[in-house]
Amino acid sequence: MRWDLLSLPACPAPPIPGEPDAPIVRTPVPGPRTEALRAQHGAFQDARSVHVYQDAAKSLGNYLVDVDGNVLMDLYGHIACLPVGYNHPALLAAWRGGRFDWCAGYRASLGVAPPEEYVGVIERGFMGVAPRGLSRVVTVTTGAEAVENAIKLAFIRYARDQRGGPATADELAACMGNRQERANRMKVISFEGGFHGRSLGALSLTRSKPIHKLDFPAFAWPALPFPASRFPLEEHAEENAAREARSLSLVEETLRAGDVAALIIEPIQGEGGDRHASPAFFRALRALCAQHGASFIVDEVQTGGGGTGRYWAHEAWGLETPPDLVTFSKKMQLGGVYLNEDHMPAEPYRVFNTWLGDPLRAAQLEVINEIISKDALLESTAITGEFLVAGLRNLCSTYPNLLSQARGAGTFAAVDLPDGPTRDRLVRAMQQLGLETGGSGERSIRFRPALIFTPKHAAEALTRLEHALTRLG
Ligand SMILES: Cc1ncc(COP(=O)(O)O)c(C=O)c1O
């Protein structure tokens, strides 16, 4: 199909001046210069995961320029981390205009001596986009740290409610010997296929692939089945509802067994294969957590910041009571947790570290949010996502032996291949045609473009994806 000949839906995102019209592939991808750099770099660091080395100055908008001169349309966005694409003119103008001068000369320890300007950045930049009902924010550096601190906040709240008073001298002595009976019984529920980071605490919640967990000691916390809707939803309604009901009944049973301080879930399992569930499922989880005194943690590290067409993916659920804690990182430029008042620890230093984030990245988020709002990038992402997923569904009908399960919220989209090796071949074929992308789970391809990705870009991507499919034979 000539996707470019379809009438493209109108979309408010303005074009990025000077952005290339289409990918240009000059060498095999990865090219010879990338491979030479990989050899040089690999002597000191593990460079095996690198797709391509980038020409950072030349990359612009949706296009990554690599060191071999290839101009690749970036559908992967550094694993969902690019909010407004490469070198957005407004972000560069803010930089050049001195807006970040106050944090450019050194990196402050933000819990000790934050610059005055930082207070306004948190108030405007972070609280300005806070999920409804969450009135405080802790900033850290990565997604895993965000999760670690969210579960710490949940444990502190749970222990406080159970204890009903200050810790006793015996409890203080027991904690120094890792012998806290009550604390050591506390659990966090997570879901099969979920990904919450690679640090030791977060790893006990991560259930996506053995390679992440192998050889590391872990807490014996429950992993419950994630319902993983089948698509198209209208054809699988009964089956999907049955899966959700089964999962909910296991959640309820586990909560009833006691000692569950929290439940953590991604709105869409982003590493585990772009697995979705219905708003009704999430509403029921929220209600069960409230009923049993467990904190409801929504891990928006990958979904947060606009890719689903809403700033927070969980806004789509129509929750009556907001989550207790929402984690973020990636498009937000640094990691962190939004929390409600009930989760605010009574003492300082209980959730603390040296940096507590990064003032420069925090200041950049404020500018990014201004761009999102001025250019209506959430609306634009919702429109583009509908067009992209409709295109993927169309390709599923045309290539039923290769593609299935087109799905997405905004441009946070995916499609399945029959198996992992075929998926990997398609990712490589797409790269040779100038599309930078990546896998998700065992056999999905994921789309995580920037919020400046418009129907025009989606049409170009679909054209090239179709060409790549014909190359698979
Ligand atoms: C949902 C989710 N949580 C946590 C993490 C961990 O984030 P980081 O890699 O920044 O530690 C990720 C990373 O992909 C994620 O997708």
Q: Which atom of ligand 1 is nearest to the CA of 269?
A: 1
303-309: average pLDDT: 98
Catalytic residue status for 330: yes
Whether the predicted pLDDT of 2 surpasses 90: no
Report the pLDDT value the prediction gives residue 130, as an integer from 0 to 100: 98
Statement: residue 380 has pLDDT above 80 = yes
User: Which DSSP helix (H) or strand (E) runs through 213?
Assistant: helix 210-213
pLDDT-based confidence at 260, cuts 50/70/90? very high
Domain match, 136 and 60 both: no
Catalytic residue among 66, 68, 299, 358: 299
Q: Averaged over 282-305, what is the pLDDT?
A: 98
Q: Which of 21, 170, 215, 354 is catalytic?
A: 354
Give yes or no: 374 in active site.
no
The atom number, within ligand 1, closest to the CA of 335 reads 10
Domain that holds residue 201: 101-372
The pTM assigned to this predicted structure is 0.98
Q: For residues 308 and 381, give the distance between their C-alpha atoms in angstroms, rounded to a whole number.
A: 7
Give me the mean pLDDT over the 306-311 stretch.
Answer: 98
Place of tokens 């604390």: 183
Q: 390 and 346, same structural domain?
A: no
Residue 24 is predicted with a pLDDT of: 98
320 domain residue, yes or no? yes
372, 405, 428 — which closes off a domain? 372
Active site residue 352: no
- In a shared domain, residues 360 and 392: no
Q: How many CB atoms are located within 10 Å of the residue 210 CB? A: 7
Q: How far is the CA of 146 from the centre of ligand 1 (A)?
A: 9
Q: Which of 81, 207, 329 to mutate to test the pocket of ligand 1 (most atoms within 8 A of CB)?
A: 329
* Per-residue pLDDT at 129: 98
Q: Is 299 in the pocket of ligand 1 (CB under 6 A)?
A: yes
Q: Are residues 362 and 385 in the same domain?
A: no
What pLDDT is stored for residue 288 in this prediction? 98
pLDDT at 128: 98
| pLDDT value of position 468 | 98
Spatial CA neighbour of 140 closest among 132, 148, 131: 148
Domain count, the chain: 2
What's residue 151's pLDDT? 98
Distance in Å, CA 260 to ligand 1 centroid = 23
Strand-by-strand arrangement of the 435-436 sheet: 63-65, 71-74, 435-436
Structural contact between residues 373 and 397, judged by C-beta atoms closer than 8 angstroms = no
Give Cα 324 to chain centroid, integer Å: 18
pLDDT tens profile 48-104: 999 999 999 999 999 999 999 999 999 999 999 999 999 999 999 999 999 999 999
Q: Which residue of 81, 148, 195 sits with most ligand 1 atoms within 8 Å of its CB, as the best mutation to test the pocket?
A: 195
Statement: residue 330 has pLDDT above 80: yes
Task: Kindly report the CATH number assigned to the domain that includes residue 416.
Answer: 3.90.1150.10
Q: Is the pLDDT of residue 46 over 90?
A: yes
Predicted pLDDT at 7:
85
Centre of ligand 1 to C-alpha 302, Å, is: 6
Q: What percentage of residues in the chain have a pLDDT greater than 70? A: 99
Can you give the pLDDT at residue 451? 98
Q: Quote the mean pLDDT of the chain.
A: 97
Is residue 82 assigned to a domain? no
Q: Is the CB of 364 under 6 A from ligand 1?
A: no
Active site residue 387: no
Ligand 1 geometric centre to CA of 196 (Å): 5
Is residue 149 included in any domain, yes or no?
Answer: yes
CA of residue 166 to ligand 1 center, whole Å: 34
Atom of ligand 1 nearest to the CA of 303: 1
The pLDDT assigned to 473 comes to 72
**212 & 327 share domain:** yes
Locate tokens 């103008």: which residue?
93
Residues 131 and 237 in one domain: yes
If asked whether residues 34 and 126 sit together in one domain, one would say no
Mean pLDDT of 444-465: 98
The yes-or-no verdict on residue 191 having pLDDT over 90 is yes
Among 340, 335, 386, which Cα is nearest to 356's? 335
Report the percentage of the chain scoring pLDDT > 90.
97
271 Cβ closer than 6 Å to some ligand 1 atom: yes
| Nearest ligand 1 atom, CA 271 | 16
pLDDT tens digits for range 270-280: 999 999 999 99
Quick one: 424 exposed, middle or buried, by C-beta within 10 A (0-12, 13-18, 19+)? middle
Ligand 1 mean position, distance from CA 3 (Å)? 34
Q: Which of 195, 231, 281, 453 is catalytic?
A: 195
Is 171 in the same domain as 318? yes
**Does 5 have pLDDT greater than 90?**
no
* Spatial CB neighbours of 301, under 8 Å, sequence gap ≥ 6: 143, 146, 147, 196, 197, 266, 270, 327, 328, 329, 330, 335
Cα separation, 111 vs 118, in Å, equals: 11
Over residues 331-336, the mean pLDDT reads 98
Mean pLDDT, range 179-200, rounded to an integer = 97
Does ligand 1 lie within 6 Å of residue 274's CB atom? no
Quick check: CB of 454 below 6 Å from ligand 1?
A: no
pLDDT tier for residue 443 given thresholds of 50, 70 and 90: very high
